Structure 1
């Protein structure tokens, strides 16, 4: 049998942007939209055109790009919202009408008859102007089911193309969602869609239940972004439908990680390492028994191949690491270590872990180099670092770095002295090699005014991603050292690999 197709409406640019602290520029919206289109989503809710001039500029940039995905704007039941959407030349509108007694009486302060009229009038207006209309019931899971059906029936009589049920504040569990959608799928004559929020941590489960009960479209966001606790995470839903059920989407699973990182970059909302599917630890193994098992047969501790979703397997070295993982890593680097050397590396890693330290990639490599007698001098060395900061002064940093027989001098500004120093070093690094900073965080701070600071950074050269640490009483020096330790490690690994 051929798997049944389920359409995907991505609302990262609308509901996702409503994540507290997130605001996307028109150009950022366009870049994310292009990434979503390349990923293969069927519909992109590009924003709410009535919001602002900037929002309309962002939506218009997307509609002008000629993407394959249907581009829609969120609208309320107001003709002015439809006009704003038309101004942006969208293909469709996501027409959202509150249907619960709570929203009708307290938010709208209208009667049900007035709400019904609002729904039909705006739907008819949008349809008359050539728009595809998806009629959504806001707070549908707290609505009287008979009234919900009346609204949907009136919309279908007007000619709306799709019907959507919104679990606006996540007030149904999966079995309740299954019951609701089973009932509505027998009644609704156009494609039925699910829009689930994650207030109780069941948005993905609810979305899957809705599909199993008859929904043939769902709304989701990349990385599960959204108001409060977020929306259903697109990457989790599409993977689950692919792996466990006889449904298919047009989403390219291999592009999930790349799209996730694009959204993470522009929203500045970091993805938890333990996030399913696209988290940094989703295919990472430290515990000895797990690492040994996955190296022997990957399916022992991996439900799917990491490459399926654009990920890579990572072995993390720490106090739970076993000797088998160490042996495997050394062999993969072409290093022939003796039993005594493996034991020495094993013990040093255990000691670091027992002190509560993260064993970064750079530290792992330094231990291996020392134990195996590989003397690797720094390829990149800092010769000067100057930082200026103060009241009414833009934090500025300048660095002078030597790489082989060349000297690089760069300057950077930032929101603070650390940010300025990192930006200056980043410019130097990008001039030396294609190495980019992905993450920065302060790992540990001891007590006292002369506190020792540990800074951990995540760097990538496009082929590998490594962690590196810098420690110093001065957070600026610790930050710069973390960067350079990682850069040296990546450059040395590249050099050794070319030999």
Structure 2
């Protein structure tokens, strides 16, 4: 085994193949933002940003990306999918300032015969004609062999005949896709070993899909067989079950295969969040690397092991991805889970008080309640009858809303023992509440942070009278904080979540400025 790690390129196709996800369409501005983050921050080797001739909006986005990329020295790393249409795709790409075309050829005899109605020789003549024109125009050319996985399985002679006719053309990468995600790792390894052994002087890319949930495993097999580049997307975006996850692939190649990659892992979560917001496609909380819960220990025995010697920590640590480890509070919590959260809050409790607080946490967990670290001060305050986190109390509140009318709120609050009344108006009851509470809090030199996310949930299968849980994520500048409120009325649940945040921050202000 070589002591020097092998270099593998990662090509991100979120902006092209990822946009083929059902319901996903990035605006030109969003495309530029994602492209910049991929190349400048995450440092992927190449990005595929669009398909040629799709729309004027697509052309505007590609033109803007290319203009920025050329200024920053990334021009030859921005690629566009083009078609075997002689001049049309090439001219479209040139008009956007592009430098690279990824030409889509037919990688299976069935596609060539039934979709195009052509023989291998006729198709190759058309491909070479487009390649010749692209080369004359100064473009770098890569080639996709569409549906190569089925093409290789059904007729290797066709695949070999296609490559034999194209191998001497000015092509940089031969990109072999598992277009329908039908391959398993042993099939990938056998077929790529054959391709790499038969054509040792060609650079092969692997473009996997995840229909069987095998995309990352298939990437490992392809890399073992000798491919030089792998195609991925952020958050597994892509048609049907999506493409290979860039986060998963990058970490697996580094940790499990000792491959050298260019990317900066510390930006994986940030760009995952950006793509999640722009695409509208939420990722699972337990998604590897980027999921909200993947660095949260739930079982008390795990927290205990970490407390006593990092027994449940691995190479896959949160700090590597600019994240932190957390310890969930619920019915499976133990004393160590509570201690870890108390350390985070810089709160000290006696052993007896810890037992009382833990009993309340377990009881809440048994009732299916979600408990966050931000809830802990209130549980502590309730259990110990402490007033330290009761800086503000909502004593009374009335909300009036009407169709096509502004909502109004009248409220009465107590802040540090002083009672205040206030009214507010806004676009809905919660907006009116924020207006009203703001007129009180300004007297205490406090301004609510902006909302980063706002979720309303009821239990699955719940009735119309079910409790409503409101979880608000607040952008507190240096960090994001979540608070939760529960009430039968969703507006009041949001108000309670807001009061929780105000209490936490007023308490911090009091400790900072005693």
Query: TM-score normalized by structure 1?
Result: 0.89
From 57, 62, 73, the equivalent of 1:54 is 57
Q: Is 1:355 aligned to 2:364, yes or no? A: no
Distance (whole Å) between structure 1 residues aligned to residue 434 and residue 99 of structure 2: 41
From 175, 184, 207, the equivalent of 1:164 is 175
Q: What's the CA shift string for 1:23-52, capped at 9, x where partnerless?
A: 111111111111101210111111113110
Partner of 1:102: 110
Over 3 Å counting, the alpha-carbon distance change for 1:141 and 1:84 in structure 2 is: same
Give the alignment of 1:2-21 within 5 angstroms. 2-21=4-23
Partner of 1:296: 308
Over 3 Å counting, the alpha-carbon distance change for 1:331 and 1:469 in structure 2 is: closer
Pick the structure with greater CA Rg.
Answer: 2
Partner of 1:84: 92
Q: Is the 8 A contact 2:471 2:484 kept in 1?
A: yes
Give the alignment of 1:213-292 within 5 angstroms. 213-292=225-304
Partner of 1:30: 32
| Structure 1 residue 359, shift from structure 2 partner | 1.2
Q: Structure 1: 5+ residue runs without aligned partners?
A: none
| Structure 1 residue 384, shift from structure 2 partner | 7.2
Give the alignment of 1:18-417 within 5 angstroms. 18-37=20-39, 38-66=41-69, 67-69=72-74, 70-78=77-85, 79-143=87-151, 144-188=155-199, 189-298=201-310, 300-372=312-384, 373-379=386-392, 390=403, 393=404
Distance (whole Å) between structure 1 residues aligned to residue 198 and residue 430 of structure 2: 57
Over 3 Å counting, the alpha-carbon distance change for 1:370 and 1:423 in structure 2 is: closer
Q: Structure 2: 5+ residue runs without aligned partners?
A: none
Q: RMSD in angstroms over aligned alpha carbons?
A: 3.2
485-494 or 225-234, which moves further after superposition? 485-494
| Structure 1 residue 206, shift from structure 2 partner | 0.8
Query: TM-score normalized by structure 2?
Result: 0.86
| Structure 1 residue 302, shift from structure 2 partner | 3.4
Over 3 Å counting, the alpha-carbon distance change for 1:270 and 1:447 in structure 2 is: closer
Distance (whole Å) between structure 1 residues aligned to residue 193 and residue 49 of structure 2: 30
Q: What's the CA shift string for 1:295-338, capped at 9, x where partnerless?
A: 33335243422111222111111111111121232234332211
Q: Secondary structure at 1:357's aligned position in 2?
A: coil
| Structure 1 residue 467, shift from structure 2 partner | 3.5
From 476, 487, 491, the equivalent of 1:461 is 476
Q: Is the 8 A contact 1:224 1:231 kept in 2?
A: yes
Aligned residues: 493
247-256 or 123-132, which moves further after superposition? 123-132
